[in-house]
Amino acid sequence: MTTCRIILRISLCLLSGLAFCAADEGPILSAAEYRRQLEQYNADVEQLANNPERAAQVDSNIPSHVSVSVSSHTYTVSYEWLKRELKQFQHSDAKERAGLLPRIQQQLKTLDQQAQAYEEPQPDLQSERRDLDQILSRYEFRKARGPGFLEIWWQKLMRWLSNFFDRHPIYGRSGQNLLVYGSVIVAFIFFAIWITRRLRRPKEDFTREILPFAPSARSWRAWLADAKACAQNGGWRDGIHLAYWAGISFLEEQGAWRPDRARTPREYLRILGSRKPQYPVLSALTRKFEVVWYGDRDANAADFQETLGQLEKLGCR
């Protein structure tokens, strides 16, 4: 019986606390109602200049906080700052009161401006985006495109030349300006020659190695055994080369792609796809292979061991 009474008392206390919280929370105001409330409080504070004895009454009429609903969201606004200011007003002299009232009114005005910004209808960005997509999908915009790299570069060059000639007109101080123009023309000629030679330079294809057979035609174990045999004789570059094809043969045997003897290392990476778990390992294996084999770099035992480590991560054990 005693236990039941204790539980009943605790339940009544909890229900009382919940009822108090619910009563304290009060109704949910709209943005317009909240602004009218701020206007009323501002008018009450303004009357305190002539009737300072009403400060306690104004304070008692102001809740500690209110809930404001704006655009399907509910915000809690605290009035504790206002109640503190009014209590300070009650215990201040006439000089301090004269400075408190404008400060309170300014804060209420700021809150009203913020509420007005929330009250204004927000633009429907999704609707505007749909309208824009509909306009751009029309026939006359199908061939529209932005400027390319060369067009942007050419516009910058023309703009720079225009600004340059505006600062250095031909008709002013002819001797000095002719020297400047001559230097610009010579520099432009050398730049054009460099660009021409750069574009005419034959491209070296270091990324294609056509095998006489598909990599999986030989077991990856055979590739790996040849790689280790080369490494034992100090042929680190050949060892890395053969170890790479061991990895390709392994993945090909696992069905990662259809066999093709004419693919490049980068094509294998693209076919595998970056979402596959083997992609980071194959990418590191490919990078080491390209640098050492196609880049004609020297290799050592550490490079070969790094390649073997990548093969083990791939599953070649």
Neighbours of 174 (CB within 10 A): 9
Task: Note the pLDDT of residue 73.
Answer: 76
pTM: 0.38
Res 52: pLDDT: 83
Q: Could you state, in chain order, the average pLDDT of each consecutive group of 10 residues for the chain (317 residues)?
A: 46 40 59 85 85 85 85 81 86 82 86 74 67 71 69 80 68 58 77 78 53 82 92 92 92 89 87 90 91 87 92 87
CATH of domain 215-314: 1.20.120
| Residue 208 confidence (pLDDT) | 58
What phi and psi, each to the nearest 5 degrees, are found at residue 129?
-65, -40
Domain boundaries defined on the chain: 22-119, 172-201, 215-314
The pLDDT of residue 222 is: 92
